Amino acid sequence: MNKDSREVDSNIKDFRISDKHLRNIIVANQKGMTKVSNETLKGRIRRLRCFLIWLFEQFHGAHGVDGESNKKFAKLIAKMKLDEDGCGGNEGQEVRGVEESVIPDEVFLKLLEIIMPSSSNNPFKGSRVRNYLIVHLLAFSGIRRGALAKLKISDFNFYGTFDQISIYRSGNEPTDPRAEKPNQKTKAHLATVNKGLMFDVKFYIDHIRTDFFRAQHHDFLFVSENDSKSTAGLPLSLKSINAVFQKISTVLGFHIHPHMLRHKWNEIFDKQGEQVGVDAVLLEDIRKYAMGWSQNSTMNSVYNDKRLALKARELSLAYQNSLDKKR
């Protein structure tokens, strides 16, 4: 036996693996193989939800069931719908008309009207101030749902210009008891909102949030106000934020989710920038800062493309009209 053979034989003898180690490898591999895209996962949940509804109607539709069973089934379907909505989708791949808004202006204005705590059209019996702040902070700052859920009282600059909020990434939060911890994806920046909204946030902190004992043990701004599962005062979950928008969507008759308000912010930003005559290059730099993107990011192209498409349409029509006049 030559030297190389002896070394190979030695390595084989030293490479031992226990049954437990083998099982762990198999389980880890199975977990990796089960990972699918969000769109695929969303489709699976949707199919399961539709099948359960069909199954329930087949067995209970003609005979009827007691109220408690109906209530439990409706709750299950609602939870599945929240999970389904939370998976995202391929909406970004859709080619929209250049003048089509992610949220039509009339729908957006109606949203801002019905979410006012004093509105007779407000769909919420409780938590009206909190839900009003959730919608307005997303609409007027352009931040993500994760950043909203991570907001702390200390992030609000209740001094100086009294109109800025600190948005930043943070690591593990020892005071955050949520199983699904929110994540802020973009880099640190300051979001600006008007003073009136800042005063409304301060009112919520001083007069509503203080009523919940568990809120004293953490600094997160938004808390659960429902104690059905002993959660009152705990940081508001991402699913609860989704549920707020699901209820609003029903009243509006238009499906709306938190990230759509980020897109709407960018549409309004473009219009305002053009009205005041901001240079196009500077406008994109400002957008990158406000969205928390790095200067090398290409994310702004998603919004910039629409403005370019509008300009392309405007110039194309002008050119065609000039040719028509020469005929």
Q: What pLDDT, in 10s, does the model give residues 7-21?
A: 545 544 454 556 666
Q: Whole-angstrom distance between the N-terminal and C-terminal Cα of the chain?
A: 95
What does the domain layout of the chain look like in residue ranges?
Answer: 15-86, 103-263
% helix, strand, coil for the chain, step of 5: 60, 5, 35
pLDDT bucket at 95, cuts 50 / 70 / 90: very low
Residue with tokens 């001094």: 159
Mean pLDDT across the stretch 198-218?
96
Q: What pLDDT, in 10s, does the model give residues 54-64?
A: 787 767 655 56
pTM greater than 0.85 (yes/no): no
pLDDT of residue 262: 93
pLDDT of residue 35: 60
Q: What pLDDT, in 10s, does the model give residues 30-67?
A: 555 556 667 777 888 888 888 888 787 767 655 566 77
E-strand stretches of the chain: 156-157, 164-167, 189-192
Q: Output the CA–CA distances (angstroms, integers) from residue 36 to 88, 290, 302, 312, in the order listed.
A: 13, 32, 25, 38
pLDDT of residue 312: 76
pLDDT of residue 210: 96
Superfamily the domain 103-263 falls into: Intergrase catalytic core (1.10.443.10)
Q: What pLDDT, in 10s, does the model give residues 228-283?
A: 888 999 999 999 999 999 999 999 999 999 999 999 999 999 889 989 999 988 98
Burial class (CB in 10 A: 0-12, 13-18, 19+), 274: middle
Q: What pLDDT, in 10s, does the model give residues 163-206?
A: 999 999 877 788 899 988 888 878 899 999 999 999 999 999 99
pLDDT of residue 21: 65
Q: Helix or strand or coil: residue 151? A: coil
Q: What pLDDT, in 10s, does the model give residues 63-92?
A: 566 778 777 887 888 778 777 777 765 544
